């Protein structure tokens, strides 16, 4: 039986250490150590992680690495790469790393190397995406397919949406990508209003092929297509990405038009698999494979670097330091790159569906906090929304800043202004502004004594607010692969330390089940289900308003 992590020796050490360092000011740490930025930074290829603006000392990091060792992080990393069934509640290995295992070292599941199958699907994706891009695979009426619609939700949507947007600059000129995820008919209607059936390819992306949102949306789109072009058109306008051939066939998609993946790929870890088909069609298979190469580089780093120089491990430990010791239950990811605008939404599922768990691997309720709330958005936009709270709110919200050195769109001074902003934010959060400094500034601006007295506290900033900054050369497919794989591994390490299963998602089931029982009631066939008074009232009101 694994001990609760908050009962380990390393945790106890950290608790004691926290009392000594909790009030230490980062600006004093910088003043005392000229080497601090260098000491608390890691370079990997073109990437720099600067984690020096965190409330840690060398001792803190030492204690955190001890915690990782006591929780057997090194062993658990090996277990993942070996293909052990670390998703123990579902008895599955967790092998998104096999999807980008670019040197093809065999990875065995039940004694069978999974790499040949993975490479077969990659080859099929290349053939198909090239055929669509170059107009060889045409629609039913002989027209080129230029509108690509991905129908999927959760992991079958967020990865493709995020990566397509991130790689928009690489899209083929005549290709347009659309995404339908929500069951809200508006999602379907708004896409269908924009496209022409003759030039549209629907990709139905669903690991299980049983998800109600995806199947309902796919049926609506199928009907729309058949109404316009007839039943025979389906073969030329629908493909499926799934692990479930039986359901794909039942839906009426020819298995030849199905791109397979496997149970060892979790939904939120699946953009590297056939689920990435729309990325390959939009940006080309060469770029899709460059994304796999970038992820592979991060995988090698994660598997091979010692803990002290391991980027995902360091990010995970810092997250635990804030969540469990500073009681910071939220954190933000802010990419300063418009093309990464959907990264926070993607990471929300990755992090919160993975680590939003309250039962440990022993089947006990944990006695400490696990996954934090993740939110974010693109800088500088978010500076004008939630940054007020980040700077002057009562609670600490650690931030990850992401910035490319080179923009895809170097127009005038835009990129310099963008870079100046991200750097200013992390510096301002760290340094803050004392009340005396605020008073001085007000005096310089010609304010009266009374005004200075009234305003100086409002204009002060406590500072000492932590952030990581990740600098990339440019957001290209390779970089994107590195970046996403980095967060995947960070989440895994945190799950290992919290001793939870980061790879199931049982918490999404209850609501789904209850929706099934409410549906017949809304449709007028009361199922005799007993609801609480609030739910009954809401059902009755909605029915009344619909009359």
Tell me the CA distances in angstroms from 209 to 150, 224, 510, one per residue in order. Answer: 14, 20, 19
Number of H helices, E strands in the chain: 24, 13
Nearest distance from residue 234's CB to ligand F6P, in Å? 20
Query: Out of 9, 39, 127, 512, which one is annotated catalytic?
Result: 512
Please tell me what DSSP assigns to residue 507.
G
Nearest distance from residue 165's CB to ligand F6P, in Å? 18
Q: Is 512 a catalytic residue?
A: yes
Nearest distance from residue 135's CB to ligand F6P, in Å? 29
Residue 508 is a binding residue for ligand F6P (CB under 6 A): yes
Residue 421 is a binding residue for ligand F6P (CB under 6 A): no
- Phi then psi for residue 408, to 5 deg, are -75, -15
Residue 208 is a binding residue for ligand F6P (CB under 6 A): yes
Q: Is the CB of 217 or the CB of 467 nearer to ligand F6P? A: 217
Neighbouring C-alpha atoms within 13 Å toward the C-beta of 500: 26
Residue 276 is a binding residue for ligand F6P (CB under 6 A): no
* One of 87, 147, 156, 370 touching ligand F6P (CB under 6 A): 156
Distance CA 136, CA 144 (A): 8
Number of CB atoms found within 10 A of residue 196's CB: 12
Query: Out of 165, 213, 353, 488, which one is annotated catalytic?
Result: 353
Q: Is the dihedral of CA 373, 168, 471, 71 positive or negative?
A: positive
Query: Out of 19, 384, 530, 547, which one is annotated catalytic?
Result: 384
Nearest distance from residue 91's CB to ligand F6P, in Å? 17
Residue 153 is a binding residue for ligand F6P (CB under 6 A): yes
Q: Is 169 a catalytic residue?
A: no
Strand order in the sheet with 176-180: 176-180, 147-151, 200-205, 238-242, 258-260
* One of 199, 200, 214, 460 touching ligand F6P (CB under 6 A): 214
Residue 181 is a binding residue for ligand F6P (CB under 6 A): no
Q: Is the CB of 210 or the CB of 517 nearer to ligand F6P? A: 210
Those residues whose C-beta lies under 8 Å from the C-beta of residue 21, and which sit 6 or more positions away, are 55, 56, 57, 59, 60
Per-residue mark of binding to ligand F6P, 254-273 (x: CB under 6 A): -------------xx-----
Nearest distance from residue 238's CB to ligand F6P, in Å? 16
Those residues whose C-beta lies under 8 Å from the C-beta of residue 183, and which sit 6 or more positions away, are 212, 213, 216, 217
Q: Indicate the helix (H) or strand (E) that contains 450.
A: helix 449-455
**Cis bond leading into 172, ω under 30°?**
no
Q: Is the CB of 153 or the CB of 229 nearer to ligand F6P? A: 153
Residue 154 is a binding residue for ligand F6P (CB under 6 A): yes
Q: Which stretch binds ligand F6P (CB under 6 A): 13-21, 152-160, 304-312, 321-329?
A: 152-160
Residue 217 is a binding residue for ligand F6P (CB under 6 A): no
Residue 501 is a binding residue for ligand F6P (CB under 6 A): no
Q: How far is CA 209 from the centre of its chain?
A: 22
Residue 464 is a binding residue for ligand F6P (CB under 6 A): no
Segment 310 to 349, residues that bind ligand F6P, using CB under 6 A: none
For 66, counting Cβ atoms within 10 Å of its Cβ (0-12 exposed, 13-18 middle, 19+ buried), the class is middle
Q: Is 384 a catalytic residue?
A: yes
Catalytic annotation, residues: 353, 384, 512
Contacts with ligand F6P, residue ranges (CB under 6 A)? 153-156, 206-208, 211, 214, 267-268, 353, 505, 508
């Amino acid at each position: 039986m694994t001990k609760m992590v908050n009962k380990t020796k390393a945790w106890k050490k950290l608790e004691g250490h926290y009392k000594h360092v909790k009030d230490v000011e980062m600006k004093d740490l910088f003043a005392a150590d000229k080497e601090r930025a260098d000491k608390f930074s890691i370079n990997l290829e073109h990437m720099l992680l600067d984690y020096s603006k965190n409330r840690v000392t060398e001792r803190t990091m030492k204690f955190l690495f001890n915690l990782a060792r006591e929780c057997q992080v090194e062993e658990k990393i090996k277990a993942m790469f070996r293909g052990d069934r670390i998703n123990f509640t579902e008895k599955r290995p967790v092998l998104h790393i096999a999807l980008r295992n670019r040197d093809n070292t065999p990875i065995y599941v039940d004694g069978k190397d999974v790499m040949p199958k993975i490479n077969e699907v990659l080859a099929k994706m290349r053939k198909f995406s090239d055929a669509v891009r170059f107009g060889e695979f045409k629609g039913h009426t002989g027209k080129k397919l230029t509108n690509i619609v991905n129908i999927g939700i959760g992991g079958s949507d967020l990865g493709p949406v995020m990566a397509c947007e991130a790689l928009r600059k690489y899209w083929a000129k005549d290709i347009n990508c659309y995404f339908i995820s929500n069951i809200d008919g508006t999602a379907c209607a708004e896409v269908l209003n924009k496209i022409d059936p003759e030039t549209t390819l629907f990709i139905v992306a669903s690991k299980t092929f049983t998800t109600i949102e995806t199947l309902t949306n796919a049926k609506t789109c199928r009907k729309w297509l058949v109404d316009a072009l007839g039943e025979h058109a389906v073969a030329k306008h629908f493909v499926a990405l799934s692990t479930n051939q039986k359901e794909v066939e039942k839906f009426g998609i020819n298995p030849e038009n199905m791109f397979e993946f496997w149970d060892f790929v979790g939904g939120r870890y699946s953009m590297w698999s056939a689920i990435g088909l729309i990325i390959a069609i939009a940006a080309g298979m060469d770029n899709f494979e460059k994304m796999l190469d970038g992820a592979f580089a991060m995988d090698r780093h994660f598997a091979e670097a010692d803990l002290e120089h391991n980027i995902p491990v360091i990010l995970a430990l810092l997250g635990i330091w804030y969540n469990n010791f500073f009681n910071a239950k939220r954190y933000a990811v802010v990419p300063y790159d418009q093309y990464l605008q959907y990264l926070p939404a993607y990471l929300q599922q990755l992090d919160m569906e993975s680590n939003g768990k309250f039962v440990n691997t022993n089947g006990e309720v944990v006695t400490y906090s696990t996954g934090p709330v993740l939110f974010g958005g693109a800088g500088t936009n978010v500076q004008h929304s939630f940054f007020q709270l980040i700077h002057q709110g009562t609670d600490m919200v650690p931030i990850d800043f992401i910035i490319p050195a080179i923009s895809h769109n170097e127009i005038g001074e835009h990129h310099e202004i963008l870079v100046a902003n991200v750097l200013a934010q992390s510096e301002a959060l760290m340094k803050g502004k004392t009340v005396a400094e605020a008073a001085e500034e007000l005096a310089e601006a010609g304010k009266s004594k009374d005004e200075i007295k009234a305003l100086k506290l409002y204009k002060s900033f406590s500072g000492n607010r932590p952030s990581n900054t990740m600098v990339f050369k440019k957001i290209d497919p390779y970089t994107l692969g590195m970046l996403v794989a980095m967060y995947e591994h960070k989440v895994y390490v945190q799950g290992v330390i919290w001793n939870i299963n980061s790879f199931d998602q049982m918490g999404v089931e209850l609501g789904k089940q209850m929706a099934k029982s409410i549906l017949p009631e809304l449709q007028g066939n009361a199922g005799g289900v007993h609801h609480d008074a609030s739910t009954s009232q809401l059902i009755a009101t909605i029915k009344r308003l619909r009359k």
